[in-house]
Structure 1
Amino acid sequence: MTGQEQWLLRTDTTTYAVALGGDGRWAELAAWGPHGVEHGPSPMDRSQRTHFITPADAAPAEYIPYGLRPFTGADLVARQSGGDRGSWWRFTGATADGDRALRLDFTDEVLGLRTTLCYETVPGTDVILRWTELTCTGDRELRLERIDSAAVNVPAQGGARLTYLAGQWSQEFQLKQLELERGRFEMESTQGAAGHAYAPWLAVQDAAAPAEGATPTYGIALEWSGNWRISADAEPGGSVRVRAGRVPHEGAVRLAPGATLTTPRLACAFSADGLDGLARVWHRYERLLTGDRMNRPRKVLYNSWEATGFDVDAAAQLELAKAAADLGAELFVVDDGWFTGRHDDTGGLGDWEPDPAGFPDGFDRFVDEVRALGMDFGLWVEPEGISPRSKLYAEHPEWVYRLDGRPATLVRNQLLLDLGRTDVQDFVIATLDRLLGDHAISYLKWDMNRPPTERGRPGGPSGDDPEHLDLDAAHVAGYLRVLDHLRTAHPHVTVEGCAGGGARVEHATLARTDVVWPSDNTAPLDRLRIQYGYLHAHAPHTMSSWVTDAAGVFDPRPRSLAFRFVNSIAGVLGIGADIREWTPEQCAEATEWIDRYKDVRDVVHHGEVHLLGSPADPTCGIQYEEPGGGRLVVTAWSTGALDGAPLVPGRPARLRLRGLVPDVVYTDQDSGTRYSGAHLLHSGLPFAWTAGHDAELVVLVRQ
């Protein structure tokens, strides 16, 4: 603490300065940027002329309630039941742990509410975690109608450039930008998950600065697996302020006397090196979230879904398994269709027993035969899904979300279990324990293929009061409880997160899974754009990516098998094609690519990443630098004309690499070509594209 009314939080290379403002009525940002940015007049100190708004409306407040801030957007809206909306609090104390953690208390004695703003730095990163604790200190229940986690103020001068991830099913993580000079930008999901349409992630830059290069860039990501909202305001006076938090399904959360509600954590990141630098901050943070599991190599996976669909039987699966093992796959996963009653998407969910008709010699014998080929074995499950024709639904119709007297909506011919119920959680845990305990399963793909509809819990467990339910938060808590159990009880099992593709990718899930599935779209150019956006927010070691034969959905231009493999090697390599139909030449090529992936995966998953260009350019790529700088891996793609013709006849395309030492020599591991760092930085790495050569994997060894 530098004084009675200012505190400093320090990450590896940045400082975050918080001060009291408004005569001690709220906290506000004083500075955020590289170490030393706090010395000098605050860039957040705006004009004190506040005609038609209050000083609080113009302040760069860290968190402020409706009441104090009535016009430009409050982070908290609270009232007593039957009372007036609003809170007028005062600062009542601070607790600091050096420059690593901070807690600021604000109290409204009339309302009966204590609000604690919480800050914590993440060692080894430039990330600060922020959240809020709300405690009912009076004797009357409170209604919390807006409960953001935090507000983030950005010292922009000419409005904000917002970068966000948007799309739809099969087109997730599309990188979008807009300039916000005045007004509000908002995105949200009320689908009980992050959703396909938007990711709970946002990057903010001064609109007057370039997007890349030495540009201060601020980012946020919400750690929440349920309903959420992010809004950005270009406020009167020029301030840019971002708010993020969960969205209660019922419109308000009831807080009983003595109870405390803790909001989801908001990760706040800074880089002085543009969007590319911010991506590296998020990658480092997610490697820390993964923890000791980072030490496990991400194995080459074969998944049988695209080859067999629901038609699962031991003979066909073993045929695929033998072919996959011959290619060098290390893991065989049977997707949907392996359990009783699952001949199509109208039945079976909830009855998680291997189908005897599909495995006439016994499921364990089938698993043993797969493992005898030298591969681990995995299964697809959808623990929250339930089919109306299932045995489970006949026994427990009360376990699904429903509203009395209202029709049930089927999505993908199924309903959704109320995972907020403890008895449902116990059932899911017991089911997964049985599967993982009875069979030699070392990989579990957790899918979720429908959002909650008719979200109610009539006649729930004893003590449930519909007026006091918080169904979204309860479902999230149940989901995380099951994942935490898997991590503790079955630490050897690799867990993949999936929700109809990339609808459940956020930090709470990433901290508890090993990989996630960004999209069901595996077409080459479509997937390249999905992965380009994904890698701005998330780390390569989390990105499961399959080689398939799928045709383009949004960009139908064909690309080579090499293009598909290099695409998948950029993350965690998997194969989903019907490899029984591949030619001997295709199989030989696939074997070579799998061997190359095994050689470079540690660099891809642990290295520092630079995104080189974008899929909108004729040539783009990704650079991965091994910790210590011994090896560089470059994945590169030709995204232009089908014939591979260069922009200038006879001249190869070039990708300028980044972050290299100019006077060091780098040697191509395959060709032996030697490059100086200066050449690679300024002239670039050459790629002579042709119609048959549209992707390349280059390994450069530092001499």
Structure 2
Amino acid sequence: MTSYRRWTLRTENTVYTVRLSPDGPWAELDAWGPHGAEDGPSALDWSRRTHFVTPADAAPAEYLPHGLRPFGGADLVASRPGAERGVWWDFEDARTEEGTLRLAFHDAVLGLRAVLCYATVPGTDVILRWTELTCTGDEELRLERLDSAAVTVPLTGPARLTCLTGQWSQEFQLTQLDLPRGTFTMGSLQGVPGHAYAPWLAVQDGQADAAYGVALEWSGNWHITAEAVPGGTVRVRAGRVPHEGAVVLSPGQTLITPRLACAFSPDGLDGLSRVWHRHERHLAGERLHRPRKVLYNSWEATGFDVDAEGQLELARAAAGIGAELFVVDDGWFTGRADDTGGLGDWYPDPAAFPAGFGRFVDEVRSLGLDFGLWVEPEAVSPGSRLHAEHPDWVYRIDNRPGRLVRNQLLLDLGRPDVQDFVTGTLDRLLTEYDVDYLKWDMNRPPTERGRPGAGPADRLDLDAQHVTGYLRVLDHLRTAHPDVTIEGCAGGGARVEHATVARTDVVWPSDNTAPLDRLSIQYGFLHAHAPHVMSSWVTDAPGIFDPRPRSLAFRFVNAMCGVLGVGADLRAWTPGQRAEAARWISRYKEVRDVIHHGEVHLLGTPDDPTFGVQYDHPASGRTVVAALGTGRLDGAPLVPGRPSRLRLRALDPGARYHDAASGTTYGGAHLLHYGLPFTWSAGHDADLVVLTRR
């Protein structure tokens, strides 16, 4: 019988049990898994024999500071200025309510109170964790590390880590590595999550099915670190990274760390993806039920060459194929002939819209289309009027050269006056013109990140202030313009995490729209994020990394795996291509509720000759399968080839499923055992199958 205190949080299918350690004043993980996993001796228990380490270093601790945990990677490093670093706290109290837990620890000598916070997310298998740090003494504290939380996974062999890596135009590449011992870390110092890594990690026990995952809800600098330690565990900690190297906490001040979402599935990465999808549906709230409209975006057709006549020609073509929304991308505002000017002066170019921008918007809407605009609110061009009037609004360091990235500077969105300018600008555009859709882009990271005249740089938490300003503006837009759809973008997928997903309707995974390149991007993306947030376009773009040509059908089926858009130059399409596009868009509208709200199964990988995504919608009895052929053909009819097959998942083996397009009825057991057949040819490399349960 245990003598220590123990608390269990329950989600729909999982438990997360925390105990007060018998070895010292800290909390540690007792059990994390399916219901019932908490009944029995903890799989994380250990012998309590230590050599050259302390019990705190060996424990599966939920959160420990440097001082108590001197060797094994501390989650918190704090000190008074000029004093030794270290926290030696005592357990203070525990508070529980339905679905929540708060464990408080206090170091009276240092003057620091830390509260470990837990909350379940209704309707999901996600546990949110964060930490609240309060300066309780008379002197300020310096926080050099302030992670959100740590989680420990028991192992019987090497840890299999899965992360999402890449670069601009190649984001969300699913990457796996084994970690038998040592440390793996990833993150960003670019002021956004970045293109190189997504703030998401999955951990598995070798090849075992069960998967544990974490995702950090933070739009700025961050890290996630996994350490495989002696004794058979891997400990993952995550948090934000202050740009200045530390954060100063004044007496009486409380700092709340970003939330770390923790998820578990017994069904591997595929099952873990569905846990994340349900979480993002919860984040969407009532906005989830608004249809994501088929958009047309003019960027790849016209670039910066934007004028009313050319845009209206594209809008008429877009309406003709069934698009529901027309978005004018970069180039619509004064001084924007190329990427060297105009940013910050957000007024329509009168030369491009001689009859007035309002008249142009009305003409687009008269075609039956909603209207959208691209903006980059955080950016400013050096030659703009805004920069001339407010040079102090950009990040800069006195007596040091500034540099241009993409010929532009970055506004210090941590300043309240800059936030007010951005809010006022967007309010003006959204009220003066009938705008239904806003694409928020960001095309450069902060470089010379300083704020002259605001005091010592090491006392400014500039990264967190920028994130706060960004989220404040988004929150304002959600409240003041609730009917406007917002798309999040940062040079592609550089700012995709739960804080952004919670405040936008869709996000842009990558600027790369080539078919096979995009297939691998979307494959990784769907492991971490839901289809209803994945904006994807059909364009004419050739491949950057995989240049093999694909059919128009392939491009449409691939883009229909999320929120369908079109970005090609429709003026160059033949009547036959436009007619085919209209047919695909019509089919998409019939099944987008299944795609956006259904349970998703990833069938194989993009490296397989046939790859598919399955969407199940039990309420309507429909299953949609997007199938894509990427490999060699089977040689039929010259040799005895046979169709490629995708084995479906999670169907009722005793039920029957009807494909109205082909007139074929399948048994559920047949689809689970043999799979859905596809006969690919040079002219047929993609298909969309809709099965109705009978």
Structure 1 length as normaliser, TM-score?
0.97
Query: Which AA in structure 1 matches 2:91?
Result: F
Alignment-derived partner of residue 271 in structure 1: 265
Alignment-derived partner of residue 469 in structure 1: 460
For 1:649 and 1:192, locate their aligned partners in 2 and report how far apart those are by CA, in whole Å.
Answer: 56
Query: Which AA in structure 1 matches 2:109?
Result: V
Alignment-derived partner of residue 635 in structure 1: 626
1:333-352 to 2 correspondence within 5 Å? 333-352=327-346
1:134-213 to 2 correspondence within 5 Å? 134-207=133-206, 209-210=207-208
For 2:248 and 2:641, locate their aligned partners in 1 and report how far apart those are by CA, in whole Å.
Answer: 69
User: Is the Cα–Cα contact under 8 Å of residues 657 and 693 in structure 2 kept in the other structure?
Assistant: yes
User: Is the Cα–Cα contact under 8 Å of residues 524 and 564 in structure 1 kept in the other structure?
Assistant: yes
Alignment-derived partner of residue 662 in structure 1: 653
Determine whether 1:518 maps to 2:512: no
Task: Give how far 1:648 is off.
Answer: 8.2
For 1:379 and 1:500, locate their aligned partners in 2 and report how far apart those are by CA, in whole Å.
Answer: 16
Alignment-derived partner of residue 469 in structure 2: 478
> Can you list the C-alpha shifts for 1:578-622, whole angstroms capped at 9, x where unaligned?
000001110010000000010000000000000000001010100
Alignment-derived partner of residue 605 in structure 1: 596
Call closer, same or farther: CA 1:316–1:3 in 2, change over 3 Å.
Answer: farther
Determine whether 1:388 maps to 2:387: no
User: Is the Cα–Cα contact under 8 Å of residues 647 and 653 in structure 1 kept in the other structure?
Assistant: no
User: Is the Cα–Cα contact under 8 Å of residues 348 and 389 in structure 1 kept in the other structure?
Assistant: yes
Call closer, same or farther: CA 1:227–1:152 in 2, change over 3 Å.
Answer: same
Determine whether 1:567 maps to 2:558: yes
1:274-673 to 2 correspondence within 5 Å? 274-460=268-454, 464-628=455-619, 630-641=621-632, 649-673=640-664
For 2:329 and 2:432, locate their aligned partners in 1 and report how far apart those are by CA, in whole Å.
Answer: 18
Query: Which AA in structure 1 matches 2:118?
Result: Y
Query: Which AA in structure 1 matches 2:623?
Result: L
CA RMSD of aligned residues (A): 1.3
Aligned residues: 693
For 1:688 and 1:332, locate their aligned partners in 2 and report how far apart those are by CA, in whole Å.
Answer: 36
Call closer, same or farther: CA 1:322–1:89 in 2, change over 3 Å.
Answer: same
Task: Give how far 1:49 is off.
Answer: 2.2
For 1:426 and 1:627, locate their aligned partners in 2 and report how far apart those are by CA, in whole Å.
Answer: 46
Call closer, same or farther: CA 1:406–1:423 in 2, change over 3 Å.
Answer: same
> Can you list the C-alpha shifts for 1:298-350, whole angstroms capped at 9, x where unaligned?
10000000000001000000000000000000000000000000000000000
Equivalent position SS for 1:86? coil
Query: Which AA in structure 2 matches 1:626?
Result: H
Alignment-derived partner of residue 62 in structure 2: 62
1:20-31 to 2 correspondence within 5 Å? 20-31=20-31
Equivalent position SS for 2:213? strand
Alignment-derived partner of residue 75 in structure 1: 75
User: Is the Cα–Cα contact under 8 Å of residues 644 and 689 in structure 1 kept in the other structure?
Assistant: no
User: Is the Cα–Cα contact under 8 Å of residues 4 and 20 in structure 2 kept in the other structure?
Assistant: no
Q: Where has structure 1 moved over 3 Å in runs of 4 or more? A: 464-467, 642-649
User: Is the Cα–Cα contact under 8 Å of residues 646 and 689 in structure 1 kept in the other structure?
Assistant: no
- % identical equivalent positions: 75
For 2:665 and 2:3, locate their aligned partners in 1 and report how far apart those are by CA, in whole Å.
Answer: 56
Task: Give how far 1:24 is off.
Answer: 4.2
User: Is the Cα–Cα contact under 8 Å of residues 166 and 198 in structure 1 kept in the other structure?
Assistant: yes
For 2:145 and 2:4, locate their aligned partners in 1 and report how far apart those are by CA, in whole Å.
Answer: 30
For 1:313 and 1:648, locate their aligned partners in 2 and report how far apart those are by CA, in whole Å.
Answer: 55
Determine whether 1:127 maps to 2:126: yes
Greater displacement, 370-379 / 628-637: 628-637
> Can you list the C-alpha shifts for 1:535-582, whole angstroms capped at 9, x where unaligned?
000000000000000000000111000000000000000000000000
Task: Give how far 1:642 is off.
Answer: 7.0
Equivalent position SS for 1:534? helix
User: Is the Cα–Cα contact under 8 Å of residues 66 and 74 in structure 2 kept in the other structure?
Assistant: yes
Query: Which AA in structure 2 matches 1:498?
Result: C
Task: Give how far 1:627 is off.
Answer: 3.5
For 1:47 and 1:658, locate their aligned partners in 2 and report how far apart those are by CA, in whole Å.
Answer: 42
> Can you list the C-alpha shifts for 1:629-678, whole angstroms capped at 9, x where unaligned?
60000000001127987998420000000000001000002111000000
> Can you list the C-alpha shifts for 1:480-537, whole angstroms capped at 9, x where unaligned?
0000000000001000000000000000000000000000000000000000000000
Call closer, same or farther: CA 1:13–1:74 in 2, change over 3 Å.
Answer: same
Query: Which AA in structure 2 matches 1:175?
Result: L
User: Is the Cα–Cα contact under 8 Å of residues 181 and 227 in structure 2 kept in the other structure?
Assistant: yes
User: Is the Cα–Cα contact under 8 Å of residues 646 and 653 in structure 1 kept in the other structure?
Assistant: no
Structure 2 length as normaliser, TM-score?
0.99
Alignment-derived partner of residue 101 in structure 1: 100
Equivalent position SS for 1:596? helix
User: Is the Cα–Cα contact under 8 Å of residues 94 and 102 in structure 2 kept in the other structure?
Assistant: yes
User: Is the Cα–Cα contact under 8 Å of residues 420 and 474 in structure 1 kept in the other structure?
Assistant: yes
Task: Give how far 1:72 is off.
Answer: 1.2
User: Is the Cα–Cα contact under 8 Å of residues 515 and 541 in structure 1 kept in the other structure?
Assistant: yes
User: Is the Cα–Cα contact under 8 Å of residues 644 and 691 in structure 1 kept in the other structure?
Assistant: no
For 1:465 and 1:371, locate their aligned partners in 2 and report how far apart those are by CA, in whole Å.
Answer: 51
User: Is the Cα–Cα contact under 8 Å of residues 603 and 614 in structure 2 kept in the other structure?
Assistant: yes
Alignment-derived partner of residue 219 in structure 1: 213
User: Is the Cα–Cα contact under 8 Å of residues 24 and 91 in structure 1 kept in the other structure?
Assistant: no
Task: Give how far 1:194 is off.
Answer: 0.8
User: Is the Cα–Cα contact under 8 Å of residues 402 and 458 in structure 1 kept in the other structure?
Assistant: yes
In structure 1, runs of 5+ residues without a counterpart are: none
For 1:644 and 1:221, locate their aligned partners in 2 and report how far apart those are by CA, in whole Å.
Answer: 45
Call closer, same or farther: CA 1:365–1:645 in 2, change over 3 Å.
Answer: farther
Match among 206, 226, 229 for residue 235 of structure 1: 229
Query: Which AA in structure 2 matches 1:296?
Result: R
For 2:326 and 2:46, locate their aligned partners in 1 and report how far apart those are by CA, in whole Å.
Answer: 59
For 2:662 and 2:233, locate their aligned partners in 1 and report how far apart those are by CA, in whole Å.
Answer: 53
Query: Which AA in structure 2 matches 1:361?
Result: A
> Can you list the C-alpha shifts for 1:357-407, whole angstroms capped at 9, x where unaligned?
000010010000000000000000000000000000000000000000111
For 2:499 and 2:634, locate their aligned partners in 1 and report how far apart those are by CA, in whole Å.
Answer: 44
Call closer, same or farther: CA 1:666–1:143 in 2, change over 3 Å.
Answer: same
